[in-house]
Every structure is written in structure tokens, then in C-alpha cells.
Amino acid sequence: MLENITQLGYRFNTEQEAKDAIHALNVYYGIPVSPDATTQTWCNYGYNNEYWYIVWDESMNIILAEPIEIIIIINE
């Protein structure tokens, strides 16, 4: 069953914008520390059939500023 959930996050018009935002976070936090490290990215992005998004956590504020309410779709 698909379910819409409202969460804080960041909204992007294109996939590339979302990738660029994650790249900025990865650079800031030094991820990955090496090519074979388990941790390869700071976060991931999603798509809700209308726009691309990143779900917020407070570590992102310093790079992506204040979040807004976004809609994400999950399979429940």
C-alpha cells in the first residue's frame, strides 16, 4: 500500500540538483574517507512523482539551509 508522509526535507526540480546537494554534503563531511570504506555517501535522495527530495536531518543545515515540508511516498 502506498502512503504519503509529510516530512522535513529539501525539494529539487531535477535529479541532478539532488545529486549536487548530496555531493556538497559528502565533500563537507569528507565522505567517503576511502574508496573501500563502507560509508560511501552522507544521504540519499528520492522521487515522489512530482519532485526530487532529500529527507532532512540537522547535519544538513550547514550546507542546505533550512528545510521545508516535503511529501514522500512509501510502501507500507
Tell me which residues touch another protein (CB under 8 A): 1-2, 5, 29-33, 35-44, 55, 57, 59, 72, 74-76
The smaller minimum CB distance to another protein, of residues 66 and 76, is found at 76
Cell reading at 70: 516535503
Contact by Cβ (8 Å): 72, 46:
yes
Instruction: Tell me how far, at minimum, the Cβ of 5 lies from another protein, in Å.
Output: 7
Residue 63's nearest CA partner among 25, 27, 31 is 25
Distance in angstroms (rounded) separating the CA atoms of residues 41 and 39: 6
List, in order, residues 6 or more apart from 50 with CB less than 8 Å away: 71
Q: Which is nearer to another protein, 5 or 68 (CB)?
A: 5
Tell me the closest approach of the beta carbon of residue 31 to another protein, in angstroms: 6
Q: Write down the least CB distance from residue 13 to another protein, Å.
A: 23
